[in-house]
Amino acid sequence: MKAGDDSTEAPPRNALSRFFFPSLTPGYVLRVLGIAACAYIVFSRVLIPLHINGTSMEPTYHDRAWNLCWRFRYRSSLPERGDVVVVRFAGMRVMLLKRVVALSGETVEFRGGKLFVNGEEQVEPYVATPCDWELSPRVVEEGKVYVVGDNRGVPMANHKFGQTSVLRIVGAPLW
Amino acid sequence: VKKPTRKYLLLAVIALGTWVWFRSGDSDEKRIRKCFDRLAECVTKPSGEQSVMMAAKMHNLGNVFADTCYFECERAMMTGDYTPEEVSSHAVRARSLFGDVKLAFYDLNVLLSGEGRATATVTARLTGTMKSGESFQETHELDCVLAKCEDDWRINKVVVVQVLDK
C-alpha cells in the first residue's frame, strides 16, 4: 500500500500457492471441465481400465494386475490366432481375458493336453503349466473364434473357454 | 465472491440440482433396477447369517419373481417354469452349500417394450466360499423379461446366455 493512498491491494501470490489454490476464473473452470470430459471419453470409450481378477491367463497376465483395453485394436482387422482379446458379457464392467487359438472354420481339439488346430499340433510358448486336457475335435462356427486361457494347469471343467462371437470382442490389452 | 465467479457457481448449482432431480425420480427403469438390487440382496449371504435373516430374505426373494417364471440354464439343468415358492426353495438349497456368497449385477440395460413388459440384459456375478473352504466365482450374461404387477416389476423369464461354448 502506497503512503497517502486509500486503496488496498491483495498481496502477490507465489506460484506454489497459485498451483494448489487457483483462482476460480472462468478460464480455469473451462480448462478443468475440458480435461474431465477428455478423461471421461478416453477412459470409457478408448482405453478401458482393466483390473485382472483370476488366474486364467497365468503366467502371461497375473491375478490382480492392471492393464488397459485398447478398443480400436480390431477396428480394421479381425483377431488372429495367438492374439489375447477382451470378451464382453452384457457390457464392459465385467469382461473375460482370453487367447484366440482357432478361427472360424478351423477344427480345434485337445489331445493329451496338447492343442491341435486342423489336426496340427500347435506350439504354445505362453503355456507354462503341464496340461492333461482331452477335448474331441469341433469346428469353430462362422463369425466366431475359439478362445482359451493360458493357464492350463487347472482341470478342464473349471476353466472357462470355448467359441465366442467376434462381435463380443471389444479390444485387446494394451501390453 | 466476484460477479463472473458467482455466475459460474450458480450454473454449477443449477446443473447439480437438475442432475439430482433427474436421478431421484421413480421411473419404470429405476424400479426395474431396484428389482435387481432386491434380488442381489436376497441371494447374498454373509458368513454366519442368522436363520431369521435367511427366512426374511427368502420371503422377499419370492416377491421378485412373477407367479410363473421361466428359467433356461442348460448348464445347471434348470429349464422350465418355476413358481416363486420353488425359486425360494432352490435358493435355500443352493445357499446352504456356501459359507458366504455375494451376487452382484453389472451393465444392466433395460428396454421398455410397453404394455407393462420390459426386457433387461445384465451381467450377473456370483462370488463366494463353499462350505469346504473352496472359493467360487461364476459370471454369466442374463436375458430377462419383466412384467409389471400392481406398480411393481417382477421377473418373468431368465435365460442364461452362453458367451463361451466349449
What pTM was estimated for this model as a whole?
0.84
Amino acid at A175: W
Segment 127-156 of chain B within 8 Å of chain A by CB: 137, 139-142
pLDDT digit string (tens) for B91-113?
999 999 999 999 999 999 999 98
The pLDDT assigned to A4 comes to: 43
pLDDT digit string (tens) for B57-68?
999 998 999 999
Q: At what angle do helices B51-62 and B84-95 cross, to 10 degrees?
A: 150
Mutation pick from A53, A85, A94 vs chain B, by most beta carbons of B within 10 Å, is: A94
Half-sphere exposure (CA, 13 Å, Cβ side) for A100?
24
Contact B107 A92 (CB under 8 A): yes
Q: Provide φ and ψ at A68, rounded to 5°.
A: -130, 140
Kindly give the pairing relationship between strand B152-161 and strand B65-73: parallel
Contact B109 A91 (CB under 8 A): yes
pLDDT digit string (tens) for B119-149?
999 999 999 999 888 888 899 999 999 999 8
CA–CA distance, B151 with B120 (Å, rounded to integer): 18
Nearest-Cα residue of chain B relative to residue A135: B166
The pLDDT assigned to B115 comes to: 84
pLDDT digit string (tens) for A80-103?
999 999 999 999 999 999 999 999
CA–CA min distance B5, chain A (Å): 6
A101 in reach of chain B (CB within 8 A)? no
Q: Are B137 and A54 in contact (CB under 8 A)?
A: yes
- Nine-digit cell string for B125: 456375478
Residues of chain A with Cβ-Cβ distance to B164 below 8 Å are 87, 96, 147, 160-164
- In this prediction the ipTM stands at 0.82
